[in-house]
Structure 1
Amino acid sequence: MPPASKPLQKLGFLTIGLFDEADPRRGHESTLELLELGERLGFDSAWVRQRHLQFGISSPLAVLAAASQRTRRIELGTAVIPLGWENPLRLAEDLATVDILSGGRLNPGVSVGPPTHYEHLKEALYPGTADLEDFGHGRVQRLLDLVRGEPASGFRGVEGFEVYSDRVQPHSPGLGGRLWYGAGGLRSARWAGEHGMNLLTSSVVRAEESEDFAEVQLSQIRAFRSRHPDGERARVSQGLVVIPTDGASAGQRARYEEFVARRMPRTAAPQGPARMLFAPDLVGPSERIAEQLSAHAAFREVDEVAFALPFTFAHEDYVQILTDIATVLGPALGWRPPAG
C-alpha cells in the first residue's frame, strides 16, 4: 500500500445492469451473477444503479430482493434511487421489506431533483399534479422520517379483524442509519450531513469552488463531515471508475484503453450549464492505479469505496475486473477480505 494513503476498510463495486431489449432476463441474470461473484471474492458491498426508460435496471429493489436470497454476507446498495420518480411512503415500505429479507444488509442511496426529460413524461408520471410536485430535499426528509419510524397516518387501531399501524410496516430498526445521499454539490453534501445520512460521492461532481476534480470532491466530503453529528467518523464512500488490467487479455486491455481514451476529453473542463466535472477513468495495472488513488486528495479522506464498473463492457470483462480489484488492487490499497 502506498504510504500516503490510509488502509482501505470497505471494498465495494457498482454496476448499471445493462440488458438487451430483446432479452432483458439475460442482463438481469448477469447482474445477479456479478453480485454473487462479489460475495465470493470478499467484497464488502455491491451497488446497483437505477435507470428509467432506458436499458438498465429500473427496479433496483426488485433485483436486490432477488440478490438477498442468493447471497448471505455482502451488503446491497442502490446508487442511487432518484426520488423524483418515487412516492416516499411506498418507497419506505419497499426499502424496509428488502432490508428484512436481506437480514439488515440494505444500503439505500438516494438523490433529489426533477426526473430526466421531465417535460416529456410528467403527464405519465404525475397526471394532474406534475407542476405541483416538490423535487427538493423535502422529499428526502419525508423518506427519512418514514424509514426511521415517524407516523405515516393519524390512525392506529383495530377495525373488525384488521389491525392498523400508524407507521410504515415492516419497520426495520437499523435501516435509518444506512441511508445514503448521492450529492453532486456542496449544498446537498451539507444537507446530508445535517440530517445524519451517509455520503456517496461519484465520478461526477459540480465544479463550484474549483475545476480540479479531486479538490471539488474533497471539499464536499469536508463540508458533509463538518455538519454531521459524527464529524470525522461520518461514513463516506468514494466511487470512481477503475479498470485494473492485471488479469486482462491483450484484446481486453486494448478495448479498455480505447474506452478510457474516448471518455477522456470530457474530463478536461466542466460540462454544460450545471458545470458538471467528470473524473478521469483509471486503467492499467493495479500497482499504478493504487499509486494514483493514494495521491488523490479525496481518496485520502475515505476508507471505503464503491468502484464503478464501466457501462458497456461484456460479462466476462466484469468478471476479470472484479477479480483483479478483489485480489490485486484491494490488497494494494490495504484492504483485506473478511475472514472465512
Structure 2
Amino acid sequence: MKKIGFLSFGHWADHPAYSTKTASDTLLQSIDLAVAAEEMGIDGAYFRVHHFARQLASPFPLLAAIGARTRKIEIGTGVIDMRYENPLYMAEDAGAADLISGGRLQLGISRGSPEQVMEGWRYFGYEPAAGESDVDMGRRKGLEFFEQLKGEGFAEPNPNPMFPNPPGLLRLEPFAPGLRDRIWWGSASDATAIWAGKVGMNLQSSTLKFDESGKPFHIQQAEQIRLFKQAWKEAGHPRAPRVSVSRSIFALVNDQDRYYFGHEADRTDKIGNIEADKRAIFGRSYAAAPDQLIEELSRDEAIQEADTILLTIPNTLGVDYNVHVLSSILEHVAPGLGWR
C-alpha cells in the first residue's frame, strides 16, 4: 500500500492550448483539482514553489484555501525554497494553514532549485551570513523553521503588553501541534538525504538527482533512500519516517492520452547540468498502456522504497483532463502494483 498524490508545477500562459491562461486560472483550478482528487481517493495534493516565474509561488494562501474546501486529503509543497523565506513568519503562516486544514499539511522544504533570476533571494532582502554560501543559508533557515515548530517559548515578553501574556517566554502563534512531524526535506544528493535523516525530517526525492554513481536513476534514488533510512535509524528518532518520490506516469487508455503523451513512451533517463559544476540525472517518464506500465513500474527500485508516490500532472490541460489522468492511474495501474 502506498499513498498516491499529485504534484503540480502550476504553470500558466496566454497560450491557445492552455486552460490556465492566468494566475487566477491556475490558483482556482488547483483548488478544484484538489477537491476532485479527494473525492476520487487521491491521498495528497502537492504544489511546486517557484519565484519570478509564471508558476505557483507563495503557497500558504493556496494551501489554506484547499484546506478549507477539503476534509481528508494531505496538502503539501515540493518544495519551498528556504533561501527566500523568513523562518519565523513562515512558521506563523504554516501554523495557520495547518490549523485550517485540521492538521493535514505536509511541507516540503529545501535549498531550492536553480531559479529564473540570478540570486533571486537577494531581491527578497536575504544575504548569506559571513562565510556562508546560499546553500548553507537555505539549510540554516530550514533548521530555524523546523526548530520553531517545537512550539517552545523564546521571546522576552513586554512587561506592559496590550493583552495579558501567559507566564514565561513567548512562542510564535498560532501553534500547530504535530506539524513538525510533517516537514520533508527535498534532497538531490546522498549527503543531504543523510542530513535529513539525522535531523528528523521526512524525505522528498524528485525526478532529478545529482549523478553520483553513473547508475540508472531509479537505482541511485533507491540507494539514496536507503541511506536516509539508515541515518534516521541511527539517530534514534521515535517515529517512522516517510519518503516520497515523484514520477511522470501516464496511462494511455484513449486517443487523447496517446496524442498528448504517446511520444513519451520511449523516454530514458537523461544526463545534464543544473548548475555549472553539477552533473545531474533526470528520471524517465512513463507513458504506456496500463499492463505495460505495471510491468515497467514494478522494476523501479525507488518506488519500492518509498511510501508515497507524487504524480506530476500537466496542470495546463485543465481540471477535467487531470482528473482523467489521476483516475486512470487509480483504476488501471495502482491495483496491479499493490498500491491499492
TM-score w.r.t. the length of structure 2 is 0.86
Structure 2 residue identity aligned to 1:32: I
Give 2:249's aligned residue: 242
Give the alignment of 1:1-340 within 5 angstroms. 8-20=1-13, 23-112=22-111, 116=115, 119=118, 121-126=120-125, 129=127, 134-153=136-155, 155-156=156-157, 159-164=160-165, 166-228=170-232, 229=236, 233-246=240-253, 249-258=254-263, 264=267, 267-271=269-273, 273-310=277-314, 312-336=316-340
Change (3 A) 1:120 1:199: closer
Counting matched residue pairs gives 322
Aligned equivalents of 1:232 and 1:122: distance in 2? Answer: 34
Identity of aligned residues (%): 29
Q: How far apart are residue 162 of structure 1 and its match?
A: 2.3
Change (3 A) 1:222 1:312: same
TM-superposition CA deviations, 1:94-135 (whole Å, max 9, x none): 1111001100000111011586255364552227x4676752
Aligned equivalents of 1:116 and 1:63: distance in 2? Answer: 21
Aligned equivalents of 2:25 and 2:315: distance in 1? Answer: 16
Change (3 A) 1:184 1:231: farther
Is the partner of 1:11 in helix, strand or coil?
A: strand
Q: How far apart are residue 198 of structure 1 and its match?
A: 0.6
RMSD: 2.5
Aligned equivalents of 1:145 and 1:303: distance in 2? Answer: 25
Change (3 A) 1:86 1:29: same
TM-superposition CA deviations, 1:205-259 (whole Å, max 9, x none): 111123310121011101111111359942111111111122xx31331221235
Is the partner of 2:247 in helix, strand or coil?
A: coil
Is the partner of 2:24 in helix, strand or coil?
A: helix
Deviates more, 1:96-105 or 1:251-260: 251-260
Structure 2 residue identity aligned to 1:161: M
Change (3 A) 1:123 1:111: closer
Aligned equivalents of 1:177 and 1:42: distance in 2? Answer: 23
Aligned equivalents of 1:39 and 1:258: distance in 2? Answer: 30
Q: How far apart are residue 12 of structure 1 and its match?
A: 1.3
5+ residue gaps, structure 2, are 15-20
Aligned equivalents of 1:200 and 1:156: distance in 2? Answer: 38
Aligned equivalents of 2:206 and 2:120: distance in 1? Answer: 27
Is the partner of 1:306 in helix, strand or coil?
A: strand
Q: How far apart are residue 186 of structure 1 and its match?
A: 0.9
Aligned equivalents of 1:279 and 1:239: distance in 2? Answer: 9
Is the partner of 2:278 in helix, strand or coil?
A: coil
TM-score w.r.t. the length of structure 1 is 0.86
Aligned equivalents of 2:261 and 2:70: distance in 1? Answer: 30
Aligned equivalents of 1:325 and 1:255: distance in 2? Answer: 16
